[in-house]
Amino acid sequence: MTPSKEWMIFFNDRFNEKYKVGVEQFLNYAFKKTSEENNIRCPCVKCNNTDYGSREVVEMHLNVNGIMPNYTTWYHHGERLGESSSDDEESEGSDCDEILRDLYPNMDGFYRSGSEIGSSNENKHGEEPNDEAKKFYRLLKDSEQPTYPGCDTSKLSVLVKLLHIKSIGRWSNESFDMLLQLLKQILPIGSNLPESYYDSKKIIKDLGLSYQKIDACKNDCMLYWKEEDKSNMCKICGASRWKENSHNEETKVRKNGKKLAVKTLRYFPLKPRLQRLFMSKKTASFMRWHHEKRVDDGLMRHPADSMAWKSFDDLHKDFSIEPRNVRLGLASDGFQPFTHSKKSYSIWPVILIPYNLPPWMCMKESNFILSSLIPGPEGPGDAIDVYLQPLIEELKEFIWEFVWLEYQR
Ligand SMILES: [Zn+2]
Ligand SMILES: [Zn+2]
């Protein structure tokens, strides 16, 4: 793990204590990873990683000349792609804590402080908790229950891991039920894992972890949502919504009687994730980085340095005046999830990248936001517009919310 790179923004203010501490941590990291005969490449603006120096020399260069501000992946000092950084670590906790925080960002402080449910039920303002909060308290209580009396691992933690294995191993729902039955028999009395896959899924659904499934025309003309939610055929090309048996052209039906759609879009609501970005004080200040900390020296190291960004600002002055307004980059590329399967089937994930964040954070996978999974087999091409509708609609809703917040102030 690389040390924090937050100090690099002070490359013009090198007497800042944070800069000095950062330089020390950088040197410790670099010498541990890459020193050759006690020398490393010097990343100061003059040496440009071409010249080598001892610890003392590099330290002096960094303090006198300053570090190259766009050297945000310390490749020449042992950092490798995908390596985590201590900037990513907000707090320690189990996977489940993180999932819950992800879902209920507004409860962040509460959850981390681990306060007693009863005493915090009335918050500072003496208000009754709303339904959302009540649901969270319930989940919190449930997730903290040990799997069986005396067990260190919580019920939710075990459940999420089991479901993960099921999904990686592509177990059938029936085999998962069988495993749960077996666990029930062998775990001590008082164990509280759900009894079936159905019940497990329900718990996850109540957590808000599930995505929305929206069927689509097989020719990508339209989505079956809103008024078209119940339609059986595409109103543009007339193709059937449902899978048909190739020999008798009858609609394929699942065991549970439900029809199988030819194509389905999976959509992950954006709102809770965006809220999270602004919840923690630290990330919230990073979300204003492009406005407050970025140095305009003509070097291109962040989208905010680009012409496109600047002309957007000129065109939309009302938007750009508020640095907290979220700017998202959108990326999509197809991939083949089941490499061993003979059938060619690719899905096209749509990823959002919060461009408000500084360069060393906005290109980190952990800060990417998965928005949609567009079904294959071919890429959506121009039809991507059709599949982006749910996202666009949610974004439009935010505009109204922001306006509303403005109004309330
Ligand atoms: Zn140097
Ligand atoms: Zn169609």
| pLDDT tens for each residue of 136-175 | 567 667 767 888 988 888 888 888 888 878 877 888 999 9
Mean residue pLDDT across the chain: 78
Residue 371 token pair: 């928005």
Neighbours of ion ligand 1 (CB under 5 A): 42, 44, 47, 61
Burial label, 129 (beta-carbon count in 10 A; 0-12, 13-18, 19+): middle
Give the number of whichever ligand sits closest to the CA of residue 239: 2
What are the b/e assignments for 334-371, b being 16+ CB within 10 Å?
A: eeeeeeeeeeeebbbbbbbbbbbbbbbbbbbeebbbeb
Task: Note the ligand closest to the C-alpha atom of 41.
Answer: 1
- Residues 256 and 274 both lie in one domain: no
- What is the per-residue pLDDT for 232? 93
Q: pLDDT at position 31, please? A: 92
What is the residue range of 352's domain?
268-408
Q: How many CB atoms lie within 10 A of CB 312?
A: 14
Let me know if residue 107 belongs to a domain.
yes
For the cut 70, the answer to whether the pLDDT of residue 352 exceeds it is yes
Query: 17 and 125 share a domain?
Result: no
Say if residue 275 is in the same domain as residue 331.
Answer: yes
The rounded distance, in Å, linking the Cα atoms of 158 and 256 is 28
**Banded pLDDT at 118 (limits 50, 70, 90):** very low
pLDDT of residue 368: 80
130-to-137, 142, 144, 287 alpha-carbon distances in Å? 11, 18, 21, 28
Is cis: bond before 377, omega within 30 of 0? Answer: yes
**Which of 77, 106, 131 represents a domain boundary (last residue)?**
77
37 falls within a domain: yes
CA 330 to centroid of ligand 2, rounded, Å:
25
pLDDT digits (tens, 9 = 90+) for 326-351: 888 888 776 665 555 555 557 788 88
The confidence score (pLDDT) of residue 42 equals: 95
- Give which of 370, 374, 138, 134 is closest to 274, Cα–Cα: 370
Q: Domain boundary residue among 187, 206, 225?
A: 206
Using DSSP, state whether 271 is helix, strand or coil: helix
pLDDT in tens, 74-83: 989 988 877 7
DSSP 219-236: TSS-BS-GGGGG-SB-TT
Regarding whether 359 and 282 lie in a shared domain, the answer is yes
Asked whether residue 117 carries a pLDDT value surpassing 50, the answer given is no
Q: Are residues 256 and 273 in the same domain?
A: no
- Whether residue 86 lies inside any domain: the answer is no
Pair 108, 72 in one domain: no
Q: How far is the CA of 22 from the centre of ligand 1 (A)?
A: 16
Indicate if the pLDDT at residue 407 is higher than 60: no
Tell me phi and psi for residue 315, to 5 degrees: -75, -35
Cβ distance 23 to 13 under 8 Å? no
Say if residue 387's pLDDT is above 70. yes
Most confident of 159-173, 215-229, 395-409: 215-229
Asked, for residue 1, whether it belongs to a domain, the answer is no
**Predicted confidence band at 390 (pLDDT cuts at 50, 70, 90)?**
very high
pLDDT attached to residue 125: 40
As for how many domains the chain has, the answer is 4
Where do the DSSP E strands lie in 1-99? 40-41, 52-53
Could you report the per-residue pLDDT of 177-204, keeping only the tens digit for each? 999 999 999 999 888 899 999 988 877 7
Closest CA to 29 of 77, 91, 101, 95: 77
Task: Identify the nearest ligand to the CA of 217 by its number.
Answer: 2
- Whether residue 359 lies inside any domain: the answer is yes
> Is residue 360 domain-resident?
yes
Contact 303, 328 (CB under 8 A): no
Residues 275 and 382 in one domain: yes
Instruction: State the ligand closest to the CA atom of 63.
Output: 1
Three-state DSSP class for 328? strand
240 and 285 both lie in a single domain:
no
The number of the ligand nearest the C-alpha atom of 234 reads 2
Q: Strand pairing of 328-332 and 369-375?
A: unpaired
Do 275 and 372 lie in one domain? The reply is: yes
pLDDT over threshold 70, residue 293: yes
Residue 70 lies in a domain: yes
Q: Are residues 149 and 20 in the same domain?
A: no
The reply to whether 87 falls in a domain is no
Which ligand sits closest to the CA of 220?
Answer: 2
Pick from 206, 240, 255: which residue ends a domain?
206
DSSP code for 334: -
DSSP code for 195: S
More confident residue, 184 or 313: 184
Q: Which ligand is nearest to the CA of 228?
A: 2
Neighbours of ion ligand 2 (CB under 5 A): 217, 219, 221, 234, 236-237, 239
Same structural domain for residues 66 and 107? Answer: no
Based on the fold, state whether residues 396 and 280 are members of the same structural domain.
yes
**3-state DSSP assignment of residue 253:** strand
Is the pLDDT reported for residue 91 higher than 70? no
Amino acid in the structure at residue 19: Y
CA of 371 to the centre of ligand 1 (A): 43
Per the CB < 8 A criterion, the answer to whether 59 and 23 are in contact is yes
**Spacing, Cα 265 to ligand 2 middle (Å):** 14
